[in-house]
Amino acid sequence: MRSAADNPHLQLETRHLLHCGDAADLTGVADGSVQLVVTSPPYPMITMWDEQFSAQSETVRSALAGARCNEAFESMHRVLDRTWQACHAALAEGGFLCVNIGDAVRTCAGEFRLYSNYARIVQAVTALGFTLLPSVVWRKPTNSPTKFLGSGMLPGGAYVTLEHEKVIICRKGTREVRSADERSRRRRSAVFWEERNEWYSDLWAFTGMRQDLGHNNGSGRRRSAAFPLELPFRLVCMYSWIGDTVCDPFSGTGTSTCAAIAAGRNSIGIDTDPSLVSKARERVCSSDTMAELQSRSRQRVVDHGRFIENRKQETKHRHSVSGCPVVTGQETEVTIPVPKNLRTEEKEIVCSYDLLVPGGTTGTTTSRS
């Protein structure tokens, strides 16, 4: 049986940059240089972000101080609009923008109401020329008895609780496959049939992650507002190819960078807060994180093996390297990059990989893709 390393096209090394910069101009990111943006911005009209928006816009500060709620909401989104414009410029043709966002509820000027961040960002990205695609509803179930809003059991006295966020998915133009290398890279990046069925559903249900940054984290914030690894990992696998570049203009504690490493993509993470950038670098380079990313990558092959074992009908296709059964002809070259070693080169984090295919064949790689 041939090893995945026998094919020189399967050699891979990825590079990752985490640095301080402005999301409004994607500091250090060249136009047309990234294939995917995965991010979760500060949420307008959520209290924990008031100061950050106010620092960037005197209009926001004035509107909040005067309890002019609609004006504050719109002004906050005008701050974010500059980032979506920068993302449009940074994305190559056919690149995707995926934005995790939640709506907000707030009492302002004595009135409780919902502020639809999802609808406002959809309006902004479509105005920029993005093609809007079906979105994902991410449900974050909680059993807390304090989740309900309002006074209790009387009709009209309580409000529907928000237990979901959304992922806006849109595309810039069309990506053309021009070369044999690009066709190979795309086919190696295929997802399994059973992953397609779960990941391309419009409803995801998994819990969030621990948010507490601690008292002395240096950022002035107590909560990270980070999404769990599973969310960007799915999006990276769904909307980019092995060796592509993923950008997160609100990188926070570096979860999108972790997802890119786990999936064998390059990445650029930007945050205005130097303490969070340092925390993200520390997290990415930790042995615990490496173990988590290795486990998530390998789990794809483990899950596929279990799926095949439980599949009753005959599977017609076989993987080209291992001979493992797969459901469709598009899965015959699936290759799972498993992070192996990290090293730093100047400002970049460089990752080398083992390569895993269905059936468990691995090969060590050291040269750049």
The pLDDT of 335-362, averaged and rounded, is 90
**Mean pLDDT rounded to a whole number for the chain:** 89
CA angle 204, 334, 331 (to 5 degrees): 80
DSSP state of 190: P
CA angle 299, 301, 303 (to 5 degrees): 65
SS3 call for 350: strand
Two tokens, residue 215: 């008292």
Rg over alpha carbons for the chain, rounded to the nearest Å, is: 22
Residues 6 or more apart whose CB falls under 8 angstroms from that of 332 comprise 187, 317, 318, 319, 320, 326
Calpha distance 278→285 (Å, rounded): 11
Beta bridge partners of 267: 16, 246
Residues 6 or more apart whose CB falls under 8 angstroms from that of 66 comprise none
SS3 call for 255: helix
pLDDT tens string 70-99: 999 999 999 999 999 999 999 999 999 999
pLDDT band for position 147 (cuts 50, 70, 90)? low
pLDDT band for position 211 (cuts 50, 70, 90)? very low
- N residues, the chain: 369
Helix (H) / strand (E) containing 285: none
pLDDT tens string 99-130: 999 999 999 888 899 999 999 999 999 999 99
Residue 30: pLDDT above 50?
yes
Q: How far is CA 289 from CA 27, 68, 82, 221, in A?
A: 26, 44, 32, 22
Calpha distance 185→182 (Å, rounded): 5
pLDDT band for position 10 (cuts 50, 70, 90)? low
Beta bridge partners of 112: 107
Calpha distance 114→161 (Å, rounded): 11
Evaluate the CA torsion angle 359, 360, 366, 369 in order and state its sign.
positive
